[in-house]
């Protein structure tokens, strides 16, 4: 059974870079034609797609965050990562990693448990 | 403000049926059959309940069904059970550069 687990600091200072890693277990990140994504949920608000990556390294991002986001993959560790620079309080959210469904199906499944990142000095 | 519009809350009694709507535009919900629905219990990860408008993943109860008419998609839960009490989010692929949009979520209360 495929499982995803987010990890990283729970507190980041304003203007610094948020860094999170998603570790995939129960399957290989480089098998089949899956994209892997990051999605966030500010407290009390809805979900927002951040960006996604293919095992080859091909990426696409939400334009509203593109200038600050970098998503990378490490197939040797079966992980993919998120970096969000110049963070502000508005970036405080629960961050989820998820696998895209296998094309042509379009959805996200499964998701990690999520990790709360608070931006505060 | 979320790209897709959902009611903030709905409620129903055990055994009843409820429907949650998800309204978008012709660029997302209305333009593609790529609407999915997620169930989220407090403190838990979202769980895929419906994909591609009306398909259920293996293991999801057939009490959950999805449909779409124009720019509005709907999730119907029949035979409500206490365990269905959760937040529900819709999502759609979009032709805009945003690629993926979500609704603001609907809190389902089982009375």
Supply B86's token pair.
């959760």
Give the distance from residue B25's alpha carbon to the nearest chain A alpha carbon, in angstroms: 17
Q: What percent of chain B has pLDDT over 70?
A: 100
Of the candidates B41, B7, B42, the residue with the CA atom closest to the CA atom of residue B22: B7
pLDDT confidence band for A96 (50 / 70 / 90): very high
The residue that leads in pLDDT, A119 or A46, is A119
Mean predicted confidence (pLDDT) in A82-91: 97
pLDDT of residue A114: 96
Contact A46 B89 (CB under 8 A): yes
Question: Are the CB atoms for A88 and A119 separated by under 8 Å?
Answer: yes
A110 chain-B contacts, CB cut-off 8 A: 45, 47-48
What is the Cα–Cα distance from A63 to A66, expressed in whole angstroms?
Answer: 5
Q: Is B76 exposed, middle or buried (0-12, 13-18, 19+ CB in 10 A)?
A: middle
Beta strand residue intervals within chain B, DSSP E:
9-12, 18-23, 35-40, 47-50, 64-69, 72-77, 86-93, 100-102, 106-110
Q: Is A54 on the interface with B (CB under 8 A)?
A: no
Chain A residue with the nearest C-alpha to that of B93: A106
> A-contacting residues of B 83-102, CB under 8 Å?
89, 91, 93, 97-102
pLDDT confidence band for A30 (50 / 70 / 90): confident
Supply B52's token pair.
């591609």
Question: Are the CB atoms for B38 and B88 separated by under 8 Å?
Answer: yes
Q: Is A114 on the interface with B (CB under 8 A)?
A: yes
């Amino acid at each position: 059974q495929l499982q995803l687990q987010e990890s990283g600091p729970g507190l980041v200072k304003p203007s610094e870079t948020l860094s999170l890693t998603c570790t995939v277990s129960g399957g290989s990140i480089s098998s089949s034609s899956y994209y892997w994504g990051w999605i966030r949920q500010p407290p009390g608000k809805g979900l927002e797609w951040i960006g996604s990556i293919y095992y080859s390294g091909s990426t696409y991002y939400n334009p509203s965050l593109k200038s600050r986001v970098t998503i990378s993959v490490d197939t040797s560790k079966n992980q993919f990562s998120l970096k969000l620079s110049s963070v502000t309080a508005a970036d405080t959210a629960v961050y989820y990693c998820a696998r895209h469904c296998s094309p042509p199906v379009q959805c996200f499944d499964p998701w990690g448990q999520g990790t709360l990142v608070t931006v505060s000095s | 403000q979320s790209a897709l519009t959902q009611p903030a809350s709905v409620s129903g009694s055990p055994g009843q049926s409820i429907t949650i709507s998800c309204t978008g535009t012709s660029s997302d919900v209305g333009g593609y059959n790529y609407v999915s629905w997620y169930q989220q219990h407090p403190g838990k990860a979202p769980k895929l309940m419906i994909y591609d408008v009306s398909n259920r993943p293996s293991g999801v109860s057939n009490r959950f069904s999805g449909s779409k008419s124009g720019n509005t998609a709907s999730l119907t839960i029949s035979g409500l059970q206490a365990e269905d009490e959760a937040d529900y989010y819709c999502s759609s692929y979009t032709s805009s550069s945003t690629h993926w949009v979500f609704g603001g979520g609907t809190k389902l209360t089982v009375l």
